[in-house]
């Protein structure tokens, strides 16, 4: 696990400087494990239909072992202001990048699974400093980018019960500690559930919620009745078909993580190739490209994997799926203005999103996918700016 440099907390509520300092022994151990991987057999001509192809993963793992430079990416992360604080008994790590613009709007940005703060590296400067990136200074944001409790640099949680709503309450407390009275929320995947919940638990302070890669609360769950299907347009029916296909043939990871997260944790925590395959398969399934490398820089993808590997948080991140499945929570109606960005691989449908969200902006794009901040940062940046402009 990376060592961190922090001042000793004087109280649980103190915000402490945070710095990643990975022991060389941890990197040497990773390379040794990669070199000693025990590879499985593979049926011929399977492609991606049965999981990650052997040839693809062997080549990527060898790149990870011999060419990828964690120190380079660790240095880049440490160039950003990072902090940690204790909220509701757990550690919360976060980036806090303030804009030089005096009227910047605070915005808390939440990643998903299997993502991390690494997803947002390309959007930080354009959002905090639009003046230097061809934008209007009036669109500037102060960014707060937490690592979800149980994920990556926040480290594992120490008790059960960390649902989307509890995470949202923790982030509301984080924004209070930072002194932000009015702020927006943005997120994808898990973040597209935490961010709307943040609006629900802190409506007096959240001015708007913007989501991408939205699922629960923004889509139906097939099978649908024939009468309901008949009301849908062609685009909506196509998305329903994709949702059904996902539930039938693409949700194995979610079933395991929501029922037996501890069991899968042993494999992912012990085997770096196992952790790599578990995450890379999602990048292949959810990016708008044939191979994940075609959509996302492979070293950026490996840096994302490293934050799970070095912190040993594969199991604690998987626990979120278990908590949500067994919580009985369901999105309550929200009056907070909400914007939805639907990228090419997304499956949100407006008529269903409107059942529990106050949709004031709905944007659809013909490229990009689940990891929009990595795949189509230009589109995401523009949509976030456009959505929040009238809410400032």
Decide: 141 and 104 in contact? Cβ < 8 Å. Answer: yes
Q: Strand runs (DSSP E) across the chain, as ranges?
A: 3-4, 16-17, 20-21, 82-87, 90-97, 105-110, 141-146, 183-188, 206-212, 337-342, 358-364
| Closest by CA position to 114, among listed 280, 323, 310 | 280
Q: Measure the CA–CA gap between 211 and 388, rounded to whole angstroms.
A: 12
SS3 at position 87: strand
Backbone angles phi, psi at 76, to 5 degrees: -65, -40
- Is residue 4 over pLDDT 80? no
Backbone angles phi, psi at 236, to 5 degrees: -65, -40
Per-residue confidence at 2, pLDDT binned at 50, 70, 90?
low
Residue pLDDT, tens place only, 249-293: 999 999 999 999 999 999 999 999 999 999 999 999 999 889 999
pLDDT of residue 310: 98
CA angle 361, 365, 110 (to 5 degrees): 65
Q: State what percent of residues in the chain have pLDDT above 70.
A: 97
Section 107-125 average pLDDT: 98
Q: Measure the CA–CA gap between 17 and 92, rounded to whole angstroms.
A: 12
Residue pLDDT, tens place only, 190-235: 999 999 999 999 999 999 999 999 999 999 999 999 999 999 999 9
- Is residue 9 over pLDDT 60? no
Cα 58 versus chain centre, distance: 26
Q: State what percent of residues in the chain have pLDDT above 90.
A: 95
CB count, 10 Å around CB of 216? 16
Average pLDDT of every residue of the chain: 96
Decide: 78 and 84 in contact? Cβ < 8 Å. Answer: no
Q: Is the dihedral of CA 249, 254, 260, 266 positive or negative?
A: positive
Region class of 360: left (phi > 0), else alpha (psi between -120 and 50), else beta: alpha
pLDDT of residue 329: 87
Section 48-76 average pLDDT: 98
Q: Measure the CA–CA gap between 341 and 364, rounded to whole angstroms.
A: 6
What positions carry a catalytic annotation? 189, 321, 370
Pairing label, strands 206-212, 141-146:
unpaired
Q: How many residues does the chain have?
A: 392
């Amino acid at each position: 696990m990376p060592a961190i440099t922090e001042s000793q907390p004087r109280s649980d509520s103190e915000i402490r400087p945070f710095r990643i300092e990975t022991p060389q022994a941890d990197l040497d151990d990773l390379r040794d494990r990669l070199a000693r991987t025990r590879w499985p057999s593979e049926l011929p001509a399977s492609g991606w239909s049965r999981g990650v192809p052997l040839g693809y993963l062997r080549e990527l793992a060898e790149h990870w072992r011999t060419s990828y430079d964690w120190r380079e990416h660790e240095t880049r992360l440490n160039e950003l202001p990072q902090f940690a604080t204790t909220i509701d008994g757990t550690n919360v790590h976060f980036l806090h990048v303030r804009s030089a613009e005096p009227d910047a709007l605070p915005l808390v940005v939440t990643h998903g699974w299997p993502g991390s703060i690494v997803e947002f590296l390309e959007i930080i400067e354009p959002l905090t400093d639009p003046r230097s990136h061809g934008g209007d200074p009036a669109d500037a944001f102060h960014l707060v980018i937490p690592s979800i409790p149980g994920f990556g640099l926040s480290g594992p949680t120490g008790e059960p019960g960390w649902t989307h709503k509890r995470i949202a309450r923790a982030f509301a407390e984080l924004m209070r500690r930072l002194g932000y009275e009015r702020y927006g929320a943005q997120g994808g995947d898990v973040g597209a559930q935490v961010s709307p919940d943040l609006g629900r638990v802190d409506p007096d302070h959240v001015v708007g919620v913007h989501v991408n890669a939205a699922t629960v609360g923004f889509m139906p769950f097939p099978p649908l009745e024939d009468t309901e299907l008949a009301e849908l347009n062609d685009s909506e029916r196509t998305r329903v078909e994709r949702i059904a296909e996902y539930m039938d043939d693409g949700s194995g990871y979610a079933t395991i993580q929501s029922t037996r997260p501890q069991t899968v944790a042993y494999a992912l925590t012990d085997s770096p190739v196992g952790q790599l395959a578990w995450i890379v398969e999602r990048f292949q399934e959810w990016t708008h490209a044939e191979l994940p490398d075609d959509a996302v820089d492979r070293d950026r993808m490996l840096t994302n994997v490293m934050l799970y590997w070095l912190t040993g948080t594969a199991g604690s991140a998987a626990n979120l799926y278990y908590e949500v499945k067994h919580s009985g929570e369901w999105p309550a109606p929200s009056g907070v203005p909400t914007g939805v960005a639907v990228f090419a691989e997304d499956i949100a449908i407006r008529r269903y999103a409107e059942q529990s969200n106050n949709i004031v902006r709905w944007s659809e794009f013909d490229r990009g996918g689940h990891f929009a901040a990595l795949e189509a940062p230009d589109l995401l940046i523009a949509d976030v700016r456009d959505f929040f402009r009238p809410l400032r």
